[in-house]
Amino acid sequence: MRSLIFNILFYALSIIFALLCVLLSFFPGRKPIMFGLWAYSRTMVWLMRVVAGIKVEVKGHENLPAKGPYIIAPKHQSYGDGFVVLSQFFDLSFVTGDHLEKFMTLKHILRKAGAVVIDNCGGTDARDRLQIEAEKVRAEGRKLLIFPEGYLSAPGEQRRYRKGIFHLYEDFGCPVVPMATNLGQRWNQNVWTKHPGTATVEFLRPIEPGLGKDEFMQILETACETRSLELLDFDNPGALEHSRKELAQGTIMRADKVKG
């Protein structure tokens, strides 16, 4: 019943906030529409706690650079990941796929918000567009959110990390902050059923600029994957599909693989 009520309110409020953001987009500057997106994300986090019973704990704020632009690179397990991160920053740019632009309302909102929209198929054109759009974000000293896996993964599992995150890291010349999470245990990917309990989102130590691609990708992947595995809650497994014992063994093996 909780999941049913949450999903109904989720879609209803999403439509309301989409219309609100369209109205805000007609005001000059980015602040009005960013306020709308920030309020939307805060409302979703509140909805997660009050209706779905998902209490999100955000840790590691001390690892965020005190000033200047930087890139946030989270593990991506849930639609809720974006809401949690956006709720922590009033003015945050983000990278998203061009599939959202097929909806004219969303396309208008994304462009006004200064989102970096790229071709999901990748390639040279996507790389060039990513560089051009990201340069605008860097020049304005804003923070940028990008999910390096590109797609949602189930808790305890991993997708290939895409090299676009390295190109941003190289072009920006600024720190990248990895982010670990176990939110997928409570809100798994885009699955209808939600699982009550505590979820942790943690900002990790930043990766300073100047590293080569292979070294950077290894450090980023190791940080996100290892810590996300450590955050898994076996006392309240939620969406985890395997038995506690089997998954615990797989987690240990996976952590050893990542560290190696």
- Report the C-alpha gap between 192 and 244 in whole angstroms: 23
Q: What is the pLDDT of residue 102?
A: 59
**Which residue, 53, 57, 142, is CA-closest to 92?**
142
Provide the pairing of β-strand 143-145 with 176-181: unpaired
Give the pLDDT band (50/70/90) at residue 110.
confident
Domain ranges of the chain: 56-259
| Burial status of residue 131 (CB atoms within 10 A of its CB: 0-12, 13-18, 19 or more) | middle
In tens, the pLDDT along 204-236 reads 999 999 999 999 999 999 999 999 999 999 999
Phi, psi of 103 (to 5 degrees): -95, 115
In tens, the pLDDT along 145-204 reads 999 998 888 888 888 998 889 988 988 888 999 999 999 999 998 788 999 999 999 999
Q: Provide the Cα torsion 197, 201, 202, 208; round to 10°.
A: 160
Give the pLDDT band (50/70/90) at residue 100.
low
Q: Please determine, for residue 67, whether its predicted confidence score (pLDDT) is greater than 70.
A: yes
